[in-house]
Amino acid sequence: MVSLIQRYHFITLLLTGLTFLVVMVGAYTRLSDAGLGCPDWPGCYGSLIVPEEITGQNAYAHIPLEKDKAWIEMIHRYIAGILGFALFTLTLMSLCHKPVIENIRGLLAFTSLLIIFQAALGMWTVTWLLHPTIVMLHLLGGMATLSLVWLANLRIRAAAEFKRPYHKPSRGIKMGAVIGLIMVIIQIALGGWLSTNYAAFACPDFPTCQNTWWPPLYLEAFNPFIPLDRNFSGGFLDHPLRVSIHFAHRLGALITTLYLLIFGAYCLTQLYGRIRFVIFILWLVLLVQVLLGIINVVALLPLWAAVLHNGVAALLLLVMVTLNYRLLQARL
């Protein structure tokens, strides 16, 4: 019984790593402008691999082939396909071991459905020519998939552990952790909206934005209902709207950082054991994320820093999921 639980724990840990890889490669695909490297889906110029050249007989011959970008896009699709197959397989396996892993069976089934929706979003990202709302939803879907797979791992790990005496956290601390998780999700959404609207260069100065501490803000910059009437590669919003998006992301980062620092400090005065370790990890990841955000501005968005910024955002989300789960289980 225990060995089977440990096996599932190992598998879900591997799937977490694979999902994180998909998120990172997806970020690299987006930030290297390779999202339309293949004009069709799920193949590339009508083939399951990137063709060597495009002939006049090809339905997409009017679209120039950029092999480097096409391969980046296809590698992302290959890895995502492997992840989907692995998740479906694990979900089917869980049906054969109901008494053992009952606490993750429904979670795996929901995650598998989410993977199907993610595939649809990936298709619409291409067919709707990088529509900002679809691209942002695709990013959030990837983060949600990562969180759910990690949550399955946490549940399996908890099932393999013996119960220990614990100090039950207050309802206020639990609610504070939920608020922190919601703030991180909103901040990731703002970052996705900034990226998909090409607003990273809207404020090239730091800590000010356009040489002011509070530039004019326009709510229409955040309208998700955008007509499907153009190619959105390179962005379509006017500069003042991009400034609004960039500043909102910065402001959200400041508020989220201050909240997590204060909330974490309060937790350290009230709790002990593994929760204290999670708080220290939270602060470390938060510090790295803030530094990467600053580097992206002052160094004009180097690709390595932009990709890492996405990856550390995913890690920050996982830390918050872990914190909420630990508090909910009250096994400190």
Q: Which residues are catalytic?
A: 73
Q: Which residues pair with 47 in a beta bridge?
A: 44
Q: Which residues pair with 44 in a beta bridge?
A: 47
Residue with tokens 């959404």: 189
d(C-alpha 14, C-alpha 289), whole Å: 24
HSE-up (13 A, CA, CB side) for residue 103: 14
User: What backbone phi and psi angles, to 5 degrees, belong to 32?
Assistant: -95, 10
Element (H, E) at 255: helix 239-270
Dihedral angle computed from the Cα positions of residues 163, 169, 173 and 175, in that order, rounded to the nearest 10 degrees: 70
Torsion over CA: 313, 318, 322, 328 (sign): positive
Q: Which residues pair with 212 in a beta bridge?
A: 209
CB atoms within 10 A of CB 228: 11
With left for phi above 0 and alpha for psi between -120 and 50, is residue 195 left, alpha or beta? alpha
User: What backbone phi and psi angles, to 5 degrees, belong to 12?
Assistant: -65, -30
Contact indicator for 33, 232 with CB cutoff of 8 Å: no
Cα-trace Rg, the chain: 21
User: What backbone phi and psi angles, to 5 degrees, belong to 87?
Assistant: -65, -45
Contact indicator for 74, 88 with CB cutoff of 8 Å: no
Is residue 238 classed as helix, strand or coil in its secondary structure?
coil
Which residues does 176 contact at the CB level (< 8 Å), separation at least 6?
Answer: 263, 266, 267
